[in-house]
Amino acid sequence: MKASISFTSWLITEAIIDWQGHGVEEFLERLNDPGIGGLRFEELRSMATPYGIEVVNYDQFIREIPEENRESAPPRMAPFFALVNPDTERPRIVVNVPMLFARERREISKMLKHELIHVGQLQRRPEGMALGGDDIRDETEYLSNKDEVMAFSHSVVDDLISMGATSVDAGVKLLPRSRMWQWISNKATDSALKRYRKYVYLYLKLELEEEVD
C-alpha cells in the first residue's frame, strides 16, 4: 500500500453523490431476491426496462460505441459489465452469459450503484460535458480520475459491507482486507488516494446510516 489508512485527519468538505434517487431502488431489491433463481437475458431485460435500465448483449454494445473507443472497451470474454450510455445518460448492463444466478446478480447490483453515481455526476455538470476515466488500459490514470474516485469509493464500501461491516469503525478496520481497496491503493496516485479515503468514509456513513460529523 502507498500510505497508511487514516480518516480522522482528513477534513470532510465535499459532498458525495448518492446512488439512490434515480428510480431503480425497487429494481435492485428484485435483482437481489434469492427466491427468483437463475435469470435469463430476456428475463433480466424485461425486469430492467420499466426502470430505465438498458440490458444489451455484447454485439449490440460494441456496435453502438464509437469506433475509436472499441480498442479500450471491455473484452468479449467478460461475463457482464455496466456503464452509462452517453446518449441516454442511463445505466446499461452488458450481459455475455446465458444465465445470471444470485452471485452474478449481486455483482451487477454493485456495478449499477457505481454507474448511478456517474449518472449523478453527469446531472451536475454542463450539458455535453462527458465523464472521465473511459480508458481502463492505464489503471493508474483510470483509478485516479476524479469521476472514478467517487464511484469506486462506493464500490469499496459495498465490498466492505459484503465482508460484514456494520459500522464505520468496522468498515475502516476491514479496509486493508478488501481486494478492491488493495487494487486501488496499489495503482492510484497519492493525491487520488486522499480523495478515496474521504469518500470511503462518507459512503460508509451514508450506507450505514450514521450521521456525518
pLDDT band at 62 (very low <50, low <70, confident <90, very high): very high
Of 111, 116, 109, the C-alpha closest to 32 is 109
Q: What was the pLDDT predicted at 14?
A: 62
The DSSP bridge pattern shows strands 90-95 and 54-57 to be parallel
Tell me the C-alpha distance between 198 and 153, whole Å: 9
| pLDDT higher than threshold 60 for residue 3 | no
Tell me phi and psi for residue 167, to 5 degrees: -150, 165
- Contact, 115 vs 130, CB < 8 A? no
Q: What was the pLDDT predicted at 128?
A: 63
The number of residues in the chain equals 213
And the C-alpha cell for 16?
A: 458525495
- Give bridge partners of residue 205 from the DSSP assignment: none
Q: Give the C-alpha distances (Å, rounded to integers) separating 45 from 24, 52, 78.
A: 14, 10, 18
Q: For residue 100, give the 3-state DSSP assignment.
A: strand
Tell me the C-alpha distance between 131 and 145, whole Å: 9
| pLDDT higher than threshold 60 for residue 13 | no
And the C-alpha cell for 169?
A: 469503525
Q: What was the pLDDT predicted at 125?
A: 77
Q: What was the pLDDT predicted at 2?
A: 37
105 or 210: which leads in pLDDT: 105
Dihedral sign (CA 195, 198, 178, 76):
negative
- Contact, 181 vs 171, CB < 8 A? no
pLDDT band at 1 (very low <50, low <70, confident <90, very high): very low
Render pLDDT for 122-175 as a digit per residue (tens, 0 to 9). Answer: 988 777 667 776 678 899 999 999 999 999 999 999 999 999 999 999 999 999
Render pLDDT for 19-47 as a digit per residue (tens, 0 to 9). Answer: 999 999 999 999 999 888 899 999 999 99
- Give bridge partners of residue 54 from the DSSP assignment: 92
Average pLDDT of the chain? Answer: 89
User: Residue 15: how many CB atoms within 10 A of its CB?
Assistant: 9
Query: Which stretches within the chain are classed as H helix?
Result: 25-31, 41-48, 58-64, 102-123, 139-144, 146-162, 168-174, 179-187, 190-207
Render pLDDT for 72-105 as a digit per residue (tens, 0 to 9). Answer: 899 999 999 999 998 999 999 999 999 999 999 9
